[in-house]
């Protein structure tokens, strides 16, 4: 395998890179522009490998992409690069349109041009795997409903609308041009190396600092939580074993209300970090309810039976085991997140490309 990833310095992308280098014999190319969420330090366990190559490239730059394709000669693409934070998309949607829609189009065209030039046997094995989100499906109304691969799209935010658009582009390039594509839609990820703006790391780090733990509305929003290393395994299964033209939903089978997540984190910190900041009696005392996000979906839940049935994937972590591992990782790796919070993680970006 020669797998070329986009967004491989991000949270999910770096987990996939680590998994590929540590658990397969494949060669990995990583395209990442290194936006605020891209962190090369998340790749430190594998960055010295001779099978790992890094390219600091914008996926909207067609000529740069063509050069990477010519140099790396991939047998598969895993497209993870995306702007992904809902709040940021509400405040500034333009970047989401540019990266998630225009970037996906540019990558599809670069991949199609490269794929058309391959020898027939190599061309037949080539795959373009687009990694998306369950947020494209919108809101679930019933308490027992689940998102399936045929659920109609109804995105609620600029972020989810831009991801829905990119999904449609990928399917169109498969149907119109025959490009061998696959799509996966995942539920909420959590785990090590998660950028601190997201709910779980934000709560952990705020609690350790004795700061308020903000919860939107009354915290009743339900999400299906997926441990990121389980997700990485699933993505590799899809790109290597999945059927061209198919969509696979990937979920953790862990539906939790946001307030439950915050309470569980507080209880884990009581056990694992009992020495609290000055003035804090219990971590739960830091919980603060704030004005709800505009257009906030109430419930997401994934039916992941197809990927289990067809590819044999099931998550290894329960929410309890995965969350405990996550809290333990943040307690044991303060240097990583302190450098993110200070901005020092950006200092190693100049001349970062490793070809």
Provide the annotated active-site residues: 134-135, 159
In the 8-state DSSP scheme, what is residue 355? -
217 CB-side CA count, 13 A: 14
Are 215 and 259 contacting, i.e. CB atoms less than 8 angstroms apart? yes
What is the residue-wise DSSP string for 86-106? HHHHHH-THHHIIIIIIHHHH
* Nearest partner of 261 among 301, 331, 204, judged by Cα: 204
DSSP element (H, E) containing 326: helix 319-332
Pull the structure tokens for residue 244: 């061209």
* Nearest partner of 217 among 279, 273, 293, judged by Cα: 293
* Nearest partner of 245 among 311, 167, 187, judged by Cα: 167
* Nearest partner of 288 among 231, 234, 218, 188, judged by Cα: 218
Phi, psi angles (nearest 5°) of residue 352: -80, -20
Residues 130 and 328: their CA atoms lie apart, in Å, by 31
* Nearest partner of 9 among 82, 104, 63, 66, judged by Cα: 82
Angle at 159 between CA 29 and CA 141, to 5 degrees: 120
Are 184 and 235 contacting, i.e. CB atoms less than 8 angstroms apart? yes
Per DSSP, the three-state class of 10 is: coil
């Amino acid at each position: 395998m020669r797998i070329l990833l986009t967004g491989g310095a991000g949270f999910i992308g770096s987990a996939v890179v680590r998994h590929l280098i540590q658990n397969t014999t494949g060669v990995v190319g990583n395209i990442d522009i290194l936006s605020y969420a891209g962190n090369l330090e998340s790749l430190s366990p594998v960055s010295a490998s001779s099978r790992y190559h890094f390219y600091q490239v914008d996926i909207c730059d067609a000529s740069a992409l063509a050069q990477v394709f010519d140099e790396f000669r991939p047998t598969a693409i895993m497209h993870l690069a995306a702007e992904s934070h809902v709040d940021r998309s509400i405040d500034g949607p333009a970047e989401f349109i540019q990266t998630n829609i225009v970037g996906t189009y540019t990558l599809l065209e670069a991949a199609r041009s490269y794929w058309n030039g391959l020898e027939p046997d190599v061309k037949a094995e080539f795959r373009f795997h687009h990694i998306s989100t369950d947020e494209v499906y919108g809101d679930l109304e019933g308490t027992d409903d689940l998102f399936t691969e045929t659920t109609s799209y109804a995105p609620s935010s600029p972020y989810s609308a831009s991801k829905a658009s990119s999904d449609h582009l990928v399917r169109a390039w498969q149907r119109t041009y025959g490009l061998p594509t696959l799509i996966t839609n995942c539920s909420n990820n959590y785990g090590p190396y998660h950028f601190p703006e997201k709910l779980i790391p934000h709560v952990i780090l705020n609690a350790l600092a004795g700061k308020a733990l903000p919860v939107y509305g009354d915290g009743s929003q339900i999400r299906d939580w997926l441990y990121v290393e389980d997700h990485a395994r699933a993505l590799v299964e899809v790109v290597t074993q999945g059927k061209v033209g198919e969509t696979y939903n990937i979920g953790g089978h862990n539906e939790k209300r946001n307030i439950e997540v915050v309470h569980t984190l507080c209880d884990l910190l009581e056990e694992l970090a009992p020495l609290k900041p000055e003035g804090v009696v219990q971590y739960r005392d830091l919980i603060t309810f704030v004005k709800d996000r505009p257009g906030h979906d109430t419930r997401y839940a994934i039916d992941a039976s197809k990927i289990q049935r067809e590819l044999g994937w099931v998550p290894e972590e329960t929410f309890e085991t995965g969350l405990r591992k996550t809290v333990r990782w943040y307690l044991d790796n303060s240097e990583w997140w302190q450098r993110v919070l200070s901005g020092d993680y950006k200092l190693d970006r100049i001349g970062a490309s490793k070809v």
